[in-house]
Structure 1
Amino acid sequence: MIEVKDLHKSFGDAHILKGITTTFDKGKTNLIIGQSGSGKTVFLKCLLGLFNYEEGSIAYNGQVFSKLSEDEKRNIRAEIGMVFQGSALFDSMTIAENVMFPLRMFTKQSKSEMEDRVDFVLKRVNLDDAHKKMPSEASGGMQKRVAIARAIVNNPKYLFCDEPNSGLDPKTSIVIDNLIQEITDEYQITTVINSHDMNSVMEIGEKIVFLKNGLKEWEGSKDTIFKTDNQSVTDFVYSSNLFKKVRRVYLEENS
């Protein structure tokens, strides 16, 4: 679990995060959504420890990050897996080498132990025969699965995903969403996803935090988001005719 209390972050005179309080639960897919400029990217980077913040706290399983020693912070970082928006694979490394990279950084495993673990996670994301391929030989969806394999290779307690479906077609996006949800449930990871993809919200949004102008405007689930009368949320979610129809059908069926 990740607990956030009264989080504030500014850049000069620009107050970006204005007192956010929420929790992200273990074994659930937690989504951060909001329009551009809402503060969701800054929020994600604070959760990752990439940005310091002026007020508030972030606790990982009860450990307040800002109060930890450098060694303790390193231990927390070793428990974090990250899927970047553009996959961020190393072009000069094979897929197997990319996945092995965190093991080289954070563990003292033997080469054979690392190879066994790489084999396991690549099989888990259905890339059994991709070890020797280069990233340039992989499709966008395949690269994203490699990024997920690399993110989970260290058995992380926390998984962060920044726009994991960016640049993918709808069918591949569903595959990636389902894979993330399956892995979250299977390994009981605390997963936090920064997304603007409403299909992802409705597919896997077990916990949704909606930000607007640096404030937590609303939080709930993919089910309760249909029922909210918060105008900012409905304007964001139902900006397309498709989701307006989905909401109307849902309300009719559950009235």
Structure 2
Amino acid sequence: MIKVENIRKRFGEEEILKGITTVFEKGKTNLIIGQSGSGKTVLLKCLLGLFKPEEGRIYYEENAIQDMDEEQQRELREDIGMLFQGGALFDSMTIEENIMFPLRMFTKQRKSEMLSRVNEVLARVNLEGVNKKYPAEISGGMQKRVSIARAIVNNPKYLFCDEPNSGLDPKTATVIDNLIQEITHEYNITTVVVSHDMNSVMEIGENIVFLKHGKLVWQGSNHDIFKTDNEDVTDFVYSSDLFKKIREVQLKEE
């Protein structure tokens, strides 16, 4: 669980986050959505400790980041898995070496132990046998699955995903969404996903935080989002042709 209390973040005179208070729940896929410029990425970077808010506090379980010393912050980083927007695989490393990288950084395991763990997570994302390939030799969807494998190789308590479906076709994006949700439930992780993809909202949005102009204006599940009368949310959601059709079907059924 990650708790955010009254977070405010400024850059110069511009206030980007304006007093956000929320909880990202353990064992659920928590989505942060909103239009460009709403503060999604800034909030994510505050959660990761990359940006320091001017006001407010961020708690991992009961421990505030602001109160942690360097050793505690290092221990927290070991508990965090990160899935970057572009995958961020090292082109010069094999798939095996890419996934092993966090193990080399944060553990003192023998190579045989690390290799065993690499094979475990590759099997979990259905990519057995690609160990010696390089990222350029596999598809974009496979690269994203490798990135997920790397993100979970250290058994993180917290998983952060920045636009995980960026650049993927709809079918592959659904595969990635489902994999993220399955892993979240299977390992009881607190997963936070920044997304603009309404398909992701519909598929895996168990706890959705909607931002507008740096404020949290709505929070609920993917079931609640179709029932809300919040105009900011409905304007955003139903701007998609797909969701207009879904809404038409729902209204007919009602």
- TM-score calculated relative to the size of structure 1: 0.98
1:4 matched to 2:4: yes
CA distance in structure 1 between the aligned counterparts of 2:4 and 2:252, rounded to whole angstroms: 36
Please report the RMSD computed on the Cα atoms of aligned residues, expressed in angstroms. 0.8
Task: Name the SS of the counterpart of 1:128 in structure 2.
Answer: coil
Mapped pair 1:43 → 2:46: no
Identity of aligned residues (%): 71
Structure 2 SS opposite 1:50: coil
Distance 1:82 1:116 in 2: 21
Secondary structure of 2:87's aligned partner: coil
Which residue of structure 2 aligns with residue 87 of structure 1?
Answer: 87
Instruction: Please report how far the alpha carbon of residue 73 of structure 1 lies from its aligned counterpart in structure 2 after TM superposition.
Output: 0.7
2:151 maps to amino acid: A
2:147 aligned partner: 147
Alpha-carbon distance in 1 for matches of 2:230, 2:83: 31
2:233 maps to what in 1?
233
| Letter matched to residue 94 of structure 2 | T
- For 1:152-167, list aligned pairs within 5 A: 152-167=152-167
1:243 Cα shift?
Answer: 0.6
**For the residues of structure 2 that align with 1:229 and 1:122, how far apart are their CA atoms?**
43
Q: Which residue of 2 aligns with 1:199?
A: 199
Q: Once the 2 structures are TM-superposed, how far is the Cα of residue 244 of structure 1 from its aligned partner?
A: 1.6
Distance across 1 between alignment mates of 2:250 and 2:68: 46
Q: Secondary structure at the match of 1:113?
A: helix
Q: How does 1:4-43 map to 2 (within 5 A)?
A: 4-43=4-43
Give secondary structure in 2 for the equivalent of 1:93.
coil
Residue pair 1:209, 1:216 contacting (<8 A) in 2 also: yes
Unaligned stretches of 5+ residues in structure 2:
none
User: Following TM superposition, by how much is the alpha carbon of 1:249 offset from its aligned partner in structure 2, in angstroms?
Assistant: 2.4
TM-score normalised by structure 2 residue count? 0.98
Corresponding residue of 1:67: 67
Residue-pair matches, total: 254
CA distance in 2, matches of 1:201, 1:217: 16
For the residues of structure 1 that align with 2:113 and 2:14, how far apart are their CA atoms?
A: 48
Q: Which consecutive segments of 4 or more residues in structure 1 shift more than 4 A?
A: none
Structure 1 alignment gaps of length 5 or more: none
Q: Tell me which residue corresponds to 1:114.
A: 114
Match of 2:222 in 1: 222
